[in-house]
Structure 1
Amino acid sequence: MLSNRFVVKIPDGLAPEQAAPLLCAGLTVYSPLKSFGLVKSGLKGGILGLGGVGHMGVKIAKAMGHHVTVISSSDKKREEAMEHLGADAYVVSSDADQMAAAIDTLDYIIDTVPVFHPMEPYLSLLKVDGKLIITGVINEPMQFVTPAIMLGRKSIIGTFIGSMEEAQEMLEFCKEKGLTSMIEMVEMDYVNQAMERLERNDVRYRFVVDVARSKL
């Protein structure tokens, strides 16, 4: 028998196709912000990587009243971040001048990048007691020199999805703030093409399978 401990109520007015990706990407960023005491307004946060999790990170952090900087490896997502998602700043991590200008400016960074990357450049962007929050699954050992965290009492913290209580809170928060995930609805007969597009990183930012309309 299914226990109600593993069920959340979708708030009235929140479409099911929105609730589904929020329970993944939305919760992944909401949970660490809540758990690590990063919900008060006025904080300065960084979102490293602008994908399915990253774009919700921008939206949720902005809704909490944070100044949000998107950090990306190239300039190609600047317009998306600034004009469509409402980020306050955009830093290209491969641009030494932009990275230098951002040193010691952020209270936290949510790192959504799921492939190996160096830690030191991003740790340098954190203020004293800043937190680098890892959400991407990386199957290689992380590498950093210890002074990168010792100088400034910085932390590297891991997080994975969130609790059932946080899931319900997050849905209510997103409904209250009018937050939605950017999705593309597809039917079952398109799943193979969708998987191929996922491999090419060709989706903004989540596929949702419309089972009801699918010809099964």
Structure 2
Amino acid sequence: MITVKARAVDGPDKGFRAAEIKRRDLDAQDVLIEIKYAGICHSDIHIAHGDWGEVTYPLVPGHEIAGVVTDVGQEVTKYKVGDRVGVGCMVDSCGECVNCSKDEEQYCLKGHVPTYAGVDKYGEPTQGGYSTHIVVTEEFVVSIPDNLPLDAAAPLLCAGITTYSPLNHWEAGPGKKIAVVGMGGLGHMAVKIAHAMGAEVTVLSQSLKKKEDGLAFGAHHYYATSDPETFTKLAGSFDLIINTVSANIDINAYFSLLALDGTLVNVGAPAEPLSVNVFTLIPHRRSFAGSMIGGIRETQEMLDFCAAHDIMPNIEVISADQIDKAYERVLASDVKYRFVIDTSTM
């Protein structure tokens, strides 16, 4: 076992504190990663605050991890010391079920092992990337292309793949009209990726205060959802809507914006149930779907796509002592557009 520095929280109403946690000794197929940067995801806040169910504390969040390999197990073939690598939202799965066999480990029928707030195959609680080192089996490590800076690459391991996967699955591209609901950490990545795929992109945001940014990121159109005229003007317009907000919005109003056979995909995960009126879906054969990150193969594909198209999140790098303040600012929508922790400050 090795002891590493971290930032932990002891309860839903507690602030972060300096801590030391244990990482397992390397098994034959394990990789030891020195974490350089860790992104802050809205789901970190939900889990740390206990919004999505019971949590075991102390908790070290973080599933947007970018770093460098410092040691490998004797049977590791994919990575060597010095490689630039990342770890996303999961660190293991059964590897045997039908979904795992299709490289969709995020939908493992036995349940994938989350990077934190889970239990690994050794029966130990998993702890995340708000720390200086992590040990992960090589099958759940991805390679970060050389032209992606590590600090900017970190949020791609969640915000990037969470938006890339549904855009890829529902075939966003030339001739497709795509709307992105929300212009936060997820939303701004969805705009950049959909634009690079060749789709016509529209942002649907509560106000127009981020319009200049949205257009700079590649959106062709930008509308305020606080204006009722928006829903009248855009009725029946979109082939695909990616809803990135983690709030209980009037989802039925957004269904009305879908064209025939259009799909609205939720990637934002509000704690409260959404109320669906099926008569907003039935008349135009519309679909309501969900999507959760992506498998390891698709995550690597996403990183390579972002590298090829020079796509990176807009980030604000912070020290470990600023995590509590960063959480407050995320909840106040006061970040453009993703916080990243410099783990050298642990």
Calculate the TM-score normalised by the size of structure 1.
0.93
Give the structure 1 partner of residue 191 of structure 2: 58
Equivalent residue for 2:342? 210
Q: Secondary structure at the match of 2:158?
A: helix
3-state DSSP class of the match of 1:103?
A: coil
Q: Does 1:101 align with 2:223?
A: no
Contact kept in structure 1, 2:160 and 2:186, CA below 8 Å? yes
**Match for residue 12 of structure 1 among 116, 124, 146:** 146
Query: Is the CA contact 1:92–1:99 (under 8 Å) kept in the aligned structure 2?
Result: no
- Write 1 or 2 for the structure with the bigger share of helix: 1
**CA deviation digits over 1:122-181, x for unaligned, max 9?**
111111110100011122222122121111111100111111111100000000000010
User: Which residue of structure 2 aligns with residue 111 of structure 1?
Assistant: 243
More strand by share: 2
CA displacement, residues 28-81 of structure 1 (integer Å, 9 cap, x when unaligned): 010112223x23322110000110000000000000001100001222222221
Q: For the residues of structure 2 that align with 1:104 and 1:195, how far apart are their CA atoms?
A: 37
Please tell me whether residue 67 in structure 1 is matched to residue 207 in structure 2.
no
Distance 1:139 1:199 in 2: 14
2:244 maps to amino acid: T
**Runs in 1 of length 4+ with deviation above 6 angstroms?**
none
Contact 1:91 1:99 in 2 (8 A): no
- Measured in 2, the distance between the counterparts of 1:25 and 1:14 equals 15
Q: Give yes or no for contact 1:61–1:68 (8 Å, CA) kept in 2.
A: yes
Aligned to 2:313, the other structure's residue is in SS state coil
Distance across 2 between alignment mates of 1:142 and 1:190: 33
Q: Distance in 2 between matches of 1:198 and 1:122?
A: 24
Match of 1:46 in 2: 179
Offset at residue 190 of structure 1 (A): 2.4
Q: Which structure 2 segments of 5+ residues have no match?
A: 1-26, 31-136
* Residue type at the aligned position of 2:239: D
What RMSD in Å do the two structures reach over aligned CA positions? 1.3
Match of 2:168 among 17, 25, 34: 34
Q: What percent of counterpart residues are identical? A: 42
Aligned to 1:140: 272
Which stretches in structure 1 are left out of the alignment for 5+ residues? Answer: none
TM-score (normalizing by structure 2): 0.59
SS of 1:151's equivalent?
helix
Name the SS of the counterpart of 2:277 in structure 1: coil
1-structure distance, mates of 2:265, 2:289? 5
Query: What is the aligned partner in structure 2 of residue 129 from structure 1?
Result: 261
Q: Whose radius of gyration is greater, 1 or 2?
A: 2
| Higher normalized contact order (CA 8 Å, seq sep 6+, divided by chain length) | 1
